[in-house]
Amino acid sequence: MNVFNQLSIWLSFQLSIIFLIGIPVSLFFWSIKKRNKAVNRLLSIYWKISLLFFISLLLLIGKYDYALVITNISTLLMTISVWFWNDINDELSEYDFSYALTTTTKVWRWSVTFISFNILIQSLLNYSCFSSINSALCEIWLQPSSNLYIFIKSLFNFFFGANFTQPIAKFLGLFSLLIYSLGLIQWSIIKLPKSGRNSCFSKNE
């Protein structure tokens, strides 16, 4: 793996922290303050979907072989979730450029899309890491989760007085993945056929 590729992967994860976590947190509280139901509903759905991204980070900490596959699925689902809803899209299109909240939301949606496809392209350039994240060539993909591992390890030790290890991270990640998958299947079978691409944000107080 050349230096340019390593730098690109590192930069992709740094940008993901900003655009997949930092900015949506700000937008969520901003939408609450402005009482904008459409943006608030969009962000509420986004956070539910983005749980898979955090699960993938746990699997990267646990060095699960297919963790990179889960990471790519999570970012693609996050991208779909911010564009999928017809009623939200129609509502956002009614605001002009001068309304800062919706303009920022639109820019953020494109940023999420760019980051998602950039991570996918980087992954395809290192396609062997899809099934063998523990190989020497794939070490760069594990580095971004190392700081999170240190943070969780400190919290785990503080609250439970126990050591948070990589096998524990792998177990928690796989268990969470199972629960998430069951929830996604339930939504796809029960709720999606009823509501379609309507988020029903106008019905939510």
**Using one digit for the tens of pLDDT, what is the confidence trace for 86-106?**
999 999 999 988 899 999 999
Mean pLDDT, residues 64-71 = 93
Chain mean position to CA 70: 10
Asked if the model's pLDDT at residue 203 lies above 70, the reply is: no
pTM for this predicted structure: 0.88
Confidence class for position 10, pLDDT limits 50, 70, 90: confident
Residue type, 72: N
Task: Give the pair of three-digit tokens for residue 136.
Answer: 């020497």
Q: Which of 20, 84, 19, 59 is nearest to 145 (CA)?
A: 59
End-to-end CA distance of the chain: 51
Secondary structure of the chain in HEC code, one letter for each residue? CCHHHHHHHHHHHHHHHHHHHHHHHHHHHHHHHHCCHHHHHHHHHHHHHHHHHHHHHHHHHCCCCCHHHHHHHHHHHHHHHHHCCHHHHHHHHCCCCCCHHHHHHHHHHHHHHHHHHHHHHHHHHCHHHHCCCCCHHHHHHHHHHHHHHHHHHHHHHHHHCCCCCHHHHHHHHHHHHHHHHHHHHHHHHHHHHHHCCCCCHHHCC
What pLDDT sits at residue 37?
A: 92
Task: Work out the angle at residue 80's Cα, subtended by the Cα atoms of residues 76 and 81, and round it to the nearest 5 degrees.
Answer: 115
Q: So where are the chain's domains?
A: 3-203
Q: Are 84 and 95 in contact (CB under 8 A)?
A: no
Per-residue pLDDT band for 157 (boundaries 50, 70, 90) equals confident
In the structure, what pLDDT confidence band is assigned to residue 66 with cuts at 50, 70 and 90? very high
10-20 mean pLDDT? 83
The pLDDT value given to residue 75? 94
Spatial separation of the C-alpha atoms in residues 128 and 59, rounded to whole Å = 17
CA 68, distance to chain mean position in Å, is: 13
